[in-house]
A and B are shown apart, each in its own frame.
Chain A
Amino acid sequence: MAMHEAVLLRRRGAEQRNLKAYVASGGLAALAKARAIGPEETVRILTDSGLVGRGGAAFPAGRKWESVRTAKDPIRYVVLNTDESEPGTFKDRVMIESDPFMVLEGLLIACYAVSATGAYIYVRGEYGRVADLLQQSLRELQQAGHLEGIEPQGRPLRVEIRRGGGAYICGEETALFRSIEGYRGEPMAKPPFPTVAGLFRKPTVVNNVETIANVPDIIAFGAKALRSRGTERSPGTKLFSVSGHVARPDTYEVPFGTPLSELLQMAGGEADLQAVLMGGAAGTFVFPKDFDLALSYEGVAERHTTLGSGAVIAFNRQTNLWQVAERLGRFFAHESCGQCVPCRVGTRRQHEMLATLAAGRGQGDERGLLLRLSQVMTDASICGLGQTAATAVRSLMDAESAGLLAH
């Protein structure tokens, strides 16, 4: 089994996690370089690197930054999405706990590159330690004067940390904006997209923690730095949260293109697996016949699955996957914001049917109804929650028809 060099997580387990140690190990060179080359060039390097968002939608980061950089409105925001509430997903927490300064340096570069007038870090409510660590690290950066000279009007940059209130939906970017603004976390219609009318209806860059953590190296070492790892179409490395029936559940960093089987071996558990759930609750079940798939955007697309949030949840052959599906169904029904009919009522009906099936009390028509309902939710829901609430269930039904389930 190949050992992969840690890139994003290279400071994981370091003895000292303060600004001095960060700078001594090369930190803040990227911010200095960005300031030297200017916003336009900074964004160009990011665009050339091919970095795409790690929050699930895989949108090119450079394109997002460029539209905010060139926006007409002088008020702009950068938002760091630290809500991380997808089941089985914990890589953003590990990223921040391993290297808070690299994430914050990335954030400051983003602010500088788009001339942001303010920044927000939206931290999952349960992540108290993460919020404290960010606050502490931010204070160190501020005391050392690193928040100066970023805000276009010459004021010190304001970076506010906001805590979520325990709602998965507040990780969806527009609901997240509403939450910061003090409203109910309900997704808004897109368009307009955040780059045009985001937080407080101002042009906004919203990025995932892992996306932003990639920025300092790209700026410091050039676009080629990212492209030296991974595949042509998926440059760089990727963090995966591996959990479930494996010996060593943990966050693993591998270059894009690494086979899923290798990731599972690293986590110590490929032998007796029935399936893995790829990408989190909104992902799909993948069975051993597909464990050779390449963990890259093109690799998962080929096998009709997704990298999603980078969650990989393993299930052994003793697991009844319908019971897993019931749990996922409960999650979506609980986390639906309740705004739109297909999701508010649909996730409830879906969970009721899944509970019946998991208990072995199906009346025979549930599968057909689930399929029919999944189409309504996928097509007509407002946001990604309702649109993907049936994805895992559909993949489970496909696997059942193909005779892949152990129960």
Chain B
Amino acid sequence: MAEEFTILIDGRPAPARPGETILTVLRRQEVETPTLCTHQHLTPAKTCRACVVELKGSRPLVASCERKVEPGMEVRTDSERVQNARRGVFELLLSQNDVSTAPGLVSQAEALGADPDRYRGQRYDRGFFDDNKLYVRDFDKCILCYRCVEACGPDVQNTFALTVAGRGFTAGISAGFDETLVESACVFCGNCVEVCPTGALMDRREHSMREQGRWDESRQDIVQTTCGYCGVGCQLDMHVDRERNEIVKVTSPDQHPITLGFLCVKGRYGYSFVEAEDEPAGAAKQV
């Protein structure tokens, strides 16, 4: 293991190890840092710019989630420049996006004192897609964090169904040539849904329950089990609506050594058999 060294964070020395990012050091030092696009199991996309810091010797601010530490680095997070840039990122997003299912984004914006009405202008109007039975896509909520692209691509799923299409303000997530998901290469693992930070991608079940005002996480229990479809041994967390005694969502813990939170279509969406009526004992088989 390579030698630990020291970097300066807001003038205070902090231990750092080769290969880790500035953000890792910031978190270890408990320096509050807003983030949107970075994800513990995905390659840093460095696209949201919420996590920028001032780095001595660099003219522009740098993304702390992406930049690796080097001995002697001097980082500032408390300057007006940094605060202004971070606030600006959130104010710009709030000026275009529907953030109704992105509480993390909203709370970070509030913590920075971002003014949601700072910028006027055209908001996103890029459509709601309900083209398959398992999950819906509401791109007015998409902040183009690239997490879904990376999860579908080389970081997790290697299916490469998703890409970014278009440029500038019109850039958006596309399943290749604007195909429906069913026509696309998608295998419905739901790993893009799992990593989406804004609810732009959402299980269809959750979406329709929200529409009906029935989605209430405080009413859900988590029941752990191991997926029985194959021998890999993925842990499943069944989210059970306590009052209706029905499974409403399946996830896997993001620190589980086998899944890291990622599943396949069977584990994530193939649960309705649990609630199927038992066959009456001794019933004659219909041929």
Interface pair A375/B168, CB less than 8 Å apart: no
Choose, from B82-90, B125-133, B193-201, B251-259, the stretch at the interface: B82-90
Interface pair A348/B122, CB less than 8 Å apart: yes
Contact residues in A for B121 (Cβ distance below 8 Å): 348-349, 352
- Asked whether A382 is an interface residue with its Cβ less than 8 Å from the other chain, the reply is yes
- Asked whether A19 is an interface residue with its Cβ less than 8 Å from the other chain, the reply is no
Chain B: CB-nearest residue to A366: B120
Contact residues in B for A375 (Cβ distance below 8 Å): 81, 84-85, 88
Supposing A338-B144, A340-B49, A349-B92 touch, asked if A379 and B168 sit within 8 A by C-beta, the answer is: no
Beta-carbon contacts under 8 Å, B141-162 to A = 143-144, 146
- Asked whether B286 is an interface residue with its Cβ less than 8 Å from the other chain, the reply is no
In Å, the complex CA distance between A345 and B63 comes to 18
Interface mask (B67-106 → A, CB under 8 Å = 1, otherwise 0): 1000000000000010011101100110110000000000
Interface of B is mostly: loop
Contact residues in B for A349 (Cβ distance below 8 Å): 92, 95, 119, 121
- Asked whether B213 is an interface residue with its Cβ less than 8 Å from the other chain, the reply is no
Contact residues in B for A381 (Cβ distance below 8 Å): 49, 60
Q: Which of A184, A337, A346, A376 has the most CB of B within 10 A?
A: A376
Give the Cβ gap from B13 to chain A, nearest Cβ, in Å.
23
In Å, the complex CA distance between A169 and B119 comes to 25
Contact residues in A for B47 (Cβ distance below 8 Å): 339-341, 382
Of B88, B143, B169, the contact of A376 (CB 8 Å cutoff):
B88
Give the Cβ gap from B198 to chain A, nearest Cβ, in Å.
13
Choose, from A66-74, A88-96, A328-336, the stretch at the interface: A328-336
Interface pair B167/A337, CB less than 8 Å apart: yes
In Å, the complex CA distance between A335 and B166 comes to 11
In Å, the complex CA distance between A65 and B89 comes to 37
Interface pair A336/B168, CB less than 8 Å apart: yes
Number of interface residues of B (CB under 8 A): 37
Give the Cβ gap from B169 to chain A, nearest Cβ, in Å.
4
Interface mask (A201-224 → B, CB under 8 Å = 1, otherwise 0): 000000000000000000000000
Of B67, B88, B168, B169, the contact of A380 (CB 8 Å cutoff):
B88
Supposing A348-B122, A349-B119 touch, asked if A342 and B168 sit within 8 A by C-beta, the answer is: no
Q: Which of B146, B164, B166 has the most CB of A within 10 A?
A: B164
Contact residues in B for A345 (Cβ distance below 8 Å): 92-93, 95-96, 169
Give the Cβ gap from B82 to chain A, nearest Cβ, in Å.
8
Interface pair B46/A189, CB less than 8 Å apart: yes
- Asked whether A404 is an interface residue with its Cβ less than 8 Å from the other chain, the reply is no
Interface pair A348/B169, CB less than 8 Å apart: yes
Q: Which of B60, B85, B167, B171 has the most CB of A within 10 A?
A: B167
| 27 examples of A-B residue contacts, CB within 8 angstroms | A167-B167, A184-B163, A336-B168, A338-B144, A338-B164, A338-B168, A338-B171, A339-B144, A339-B171, A340-B48, A344-B169, A345-B93, A348-B96, A348-B169, A349-B92, A352-B122, A369-B119, A372-B84, A373-B88, A376-B84, A376-B89, A378-B60, A379-B81, A379-B84, A380-B49, A380-B85, A382-B46
